Amino acid sequence: MSDLDQMQLQFSPAAAMLLQGVLAVIIFGVALELSFADFRRLLHAPRPVLIGLCAQLVLLPLLTVALVLVAEPMPSIALGLMMTAACPGGNMSNILTHWAHGRTALSMAMTTLSSMVAPLSTPMVFGLLGGLHPATRDALREVAVPYSELVTTIILALLLPLLLGMGLKQRSPALAARLRRPLKRFGLFAFLLFVVLALAANHTLFAQAIGAIFVLVLVHNALALLTGAGVGKLTRLHERDRRAVTFETGIHNTALGLTLIFSYFQHLGGMALVVAWWGIWHLVSGGLLAWYWSRRVPE
């Protein structure tokens, strides 16, 4: 393994626990905009949701393996790409879909459903992808991934606050409306601060890795967006649904990925750098795409 693969991130266990708490606040704030009734309505027309989840949970992971096989990056960087592909959709996909005149309700449903199954899907997809490549399989063997702890972390930081937020909105809509905006602002600010501090604490490692990860993340993110758009077109989804599927496949919950990496994979420095850069870049690419589509209102 290279020096980058063997470098350990400078991030304390207490900071990792705090990051888990920040992620829970972010998810709780997002869940205050959701309702169980939204999903009951989608049960009558589940096709777009199933297509979107297939693009996100099946096709993108498989294409990620293909990208790793072609590009042959160092193991920790390959695992960073795999971790990103295994994470559920990020809540920014809902905002970008809204800006782009896509079907926001569909985007929110896919984000929520992928988050609900994340305790099973994220460890399973990540473990399967890592096991398909000899180099990443050896790297994972050295780390000895505690999958039961990983599942527990996802449940506590993602699924539980999601259900609590949706439950609060159902029981007390007025309180949920008052809490929604300040919690979202705090969560976004706190997460961005964590990313900045983590990169600053590991600036030497980041400087060594940026050349190796910049193009890979750009290609991987473009592949994710194109996968969503292509699947939507091939399955003849309505243009609004297609835009929602595109963002849901191309925007990922990198906060969850960083939480898992800082908690369990600190010996593989390249992983965090890939996921952190992904978290920055997908906002740039997604924002540009949303701006382009915002000027073209679908019929």
Domain positions in the chain are 3-294
| CA–CA separation, 21 and 159 (whole Å) | 13
Give the pLDDT score at 209. Answer: 67
| CA–CA separation, 87 and 79 (whole Å) | 12
**Closest to 272 in 3D by CA, of 188, 202, 208, 189:** 202
Give the pLDDT score at 221. Answer: 97
Q: Which residues of 210-246 are buried (b: 16+ CB within 10 A; e: fewer)?
A: eebbeebbeebbebbbebbbbbbeebebebbbbbbbb
Give the pLDDT score at 1. Answer: 41
**Closest to 240 in 3D by CA, of 114, 110, 105, 115:** 105
CATH number of 3-294: 1.20.1530.20
Which residue ranges of the chain lie beneath pLDDT 50? 1-2
Cβ contact 234:224 at 8 Å: no
Cβ contact 18:187 at 8 Å: no
Give the pLDDT score at 144. Answer: 61
Dihedrals phi, psi of 89, to nearest 5 degrees: -65, 150
| CA–CA separation, 224 and 84 (whole Å) | 10
